[in-house]
Amino acid sequence: MFLTVLSICSSNVWAQDGPIYYRIGVHDEVSTDFSDKPRNLEFIELNNPYWKLYENSLENKKDSIGNRLSFLGSNNSAMEGKSTNYAFFVDTAYVNRGLGLLKPQYMLAVDTFIANDIFAVDNEWWGNRYVIGRYLYNAAMYAKSGESSGRTNFNKVQTIDQLKIRNPNGDAYLYNPLWERLAFAWAIHKGDSLYVLKGVDLEPRYKNADDDPYRLWLTLSKEYGVEGQYVDFDKLINENIIPGSEYQEEYFLPASDGSMQPEMRTYYDFKPVTALSPGKTIGLHAIIALDDNTHKDWVFSFRIVSQENEPIVFVIESETTDRDIQNGSIILPEYGGWVGIQNVAPVIARCDEWNIKNDDTFAFRVAQPETPAVSNKVISSDASAKTTVISGAGNVTILNAAGKTVIISDVLGRIISNSIVSSDNISIAAPSGIIFVSIDSEKATKVIVK
């Protein structure tokens, strides 16, 4: 039975028996196992079962650098058929530790590439495992305070009153024109940090290519490591810091008594795109700390509305009261910012700004997608569309290759699989690590399997 009376401003909407935040893969079955591992999921509006969230990359709006933006959108999947991809890579930010056991935090991404760099330094082997993709973020700061500040501490107190100076290019992040939107940006999730990138051609389709994240990885490895082998993150950070820009600022963390206590952390400003080192096209915009449970613009929690349904019904929580990290509640804020639908545009809706009515759609559920979380520019129902290889967990997905011979081999040239595929969307089991995929004897594509 679907819950029909929804009022985010009313405390009685929240389920009190059982978990108060949705822990995907643990609180109910949305995959083949109960675990906290990242997974691909679709987000479906509760009251409109054909309407799903997706990446809308068709609007002609640009950031301050001149790159075209893409936004979180809502679309009628019954009208679009299979030409639009609705899957998100639900990446864990802060889940199975500390307060994350009570309020799990996730990041949502599209067009992801899981890199597993293995390299030798002074005859010692090292490994880097990370995800490159376009990560979703609450664009309130960029719409109001200015995206070019370069400051990395997005945990600091940022109340609505402090965000009155509008960014000259901030209207790009607004809808109609009062609502702050949610947008996507290329970023790297490694460990407890999200490295937000900036640079040339960082549009929804990097260098206008179908295999965007892999090409971006190649560029990063060329500019900050060894091309085609690994990315040196120390080099990525150090070569983008503005000399002498070091500063300290308060970072608020929850204390044992429930209060938010400051600790001093060191930060740096990063070079603008116009001042990148010679030969560099990609730089750093910010590094987001993911090692705590405070509200952040790049992470989201799924606050349960009803546990009577299967799957669980929830609202997507982004902000505490007035975006005030120091004074707002870290768990169950009475007022906050959630993802709501204004007309057909997902926006940040705040209880003290929007009188949410019973028939408004703020509740979502999740479902398994038919295709992985890739760019909407990749998926096509056209039989002549370009064949695409996408790495997964223990497999590779081949798109638009029906009737073609697919040969998968390892780094030693040993054949793992040799078959004629019968579908334009097929997954083939593959061992973890680097493999090569050749389609109809064309030049092999290098893929790193999780």
Give the per-residue pLDDT at 430.
Answer: 84
Burial of 402 (0-12, 13-18, 19+ CB in 10 A): middle
pLDDT for 143: 79
Residues 319 and 415 both lie in one domain = no
Residues 46, 339 contacting (CB under 8 angstroms): no
Q: In this structure, which amino acid lies at residue 93?
A: A
DSSP codes joined into one string, 35-73: S---EEEEEEESS-TTEEEEEE--S--B-TTSPBP-EEE
User: Domains in the chain: how many in total?
Assistant: 2
pLDDT value for 356: 42
Query: Are 322 and 272 in the same domain?
Result: yes
Strand partners, 89: 40, 109
Same-domain check for residues 393 and 362:
no
In a domain, 1, yes or no: no
192-204 average pLDDT score: 88
Task: Specify whether 445 is located in the same domain as 326.
Answer: no
pLDDT at residue 370, as a whole number: 67
pLDDT band at 28 (very low <50, low <70, confident <90, very high): low
Q: Is 408 found in the same domain as 343?
A: no
> Residue 362 has what pLDDT?
72
Residues 357 and 395 in one domain: no
* Residue 383 maps to a domain: no
Residues 408-440 have pLDDT tens digits of: 888 777 788 888 887 777 888 888 778 888 888
Q: Are residues 363 and 392 in the same domain?
A: no
> Does a structural domain hold residue 18?
yes
Can you tell me which residue has the tokens 């979380």?
373
pLDDT at 351: 65
Q: How confident is the model at residue 169 (pLDDT cuts 50, 70, 90)?
A: low
Q: To which residue do tokens 């019973």 refer?
A: 358
Q: Is residue 379 part of a domain?
A: no
Residue 375 placed within a domain: no
Question: Mean per-residue pLDDT for 156-174?
Answer: 58
pLDDT greater than 50 at residue 11: no
Q: Judge if 78 and 227 occupy the same domain.
A: yes
What is the span of the domain harbouring residue 199? 11-367
Q: Return mean pLDDT, the chain.
A: 78
Is this model's pTM higher than 0.95 or not?
Answer: no
Q: Is the pLDDT of residue 382 over 50?
A: no
Lowest pLDDT segment from 262-266, 269-273, 294-298, 332-336: 332-336
**pLDDT, tens only, 111-121:** 888 887 765 55
Between these two residues, 248 and 26, which has the higher pLDDT value? 248
pLDDT top residue among 164 and 245: 245
Mean pLDDT of 17-41: 74
Query: 40-89 pLDDT, tens per residue?
Result: 899 998 878 889 999 988 777 877 777 888 999 998 888 765 668 899 99
Main-chain dihedrals φ then ψ at residue 214, nearest 5 degrees: -70, -40
Q: Is 2 part of any domain?
A: no
| CB-based contact 270:285 (threshold 8 Å) | yes
DSSP assignment of 372-410 equals -S--TTT--S-TTSPPEEEE-SSEEEEES-TT-EEEEEE
413 shares a domain with 300: no
Amino acid type, 291:
D
pLDDT computed for residue 162 by the predictor: 47
For residue 410, give the CATH number of its domain: 2.60.40
Task: Round to whole Å and give the CA distance between 363 and 98.
Answer: 26
278 with 393, same domain: the answer is no
Q: What is the pLDDT of residue 138?
A: 94
How would residue 30 be classed by pLDDT, with cut points 50, 70 and 90?
low
* pLDDT per position as a tens digit, 230-246: 899 999 999 999 999 88
Q: Is the pLDDT of residue 2 over 60?
A: no
C-alpha 17/C-alpha 306 separation (Å) is 10
Express each pLDDT in 304-352 by its tens digit: 877 666 678 888 999 998 888 888 888 888 888 889 888 888 999 886 4
Residue 3 within a domain: no
pLDDT of res. 179: 85
Task: Report pLDDT for 171.
Answer: 78
* Domain-located, residue 377: no
Same domain, 436 and 313: no
Q: Same domain for 276 and 200?
A: yes
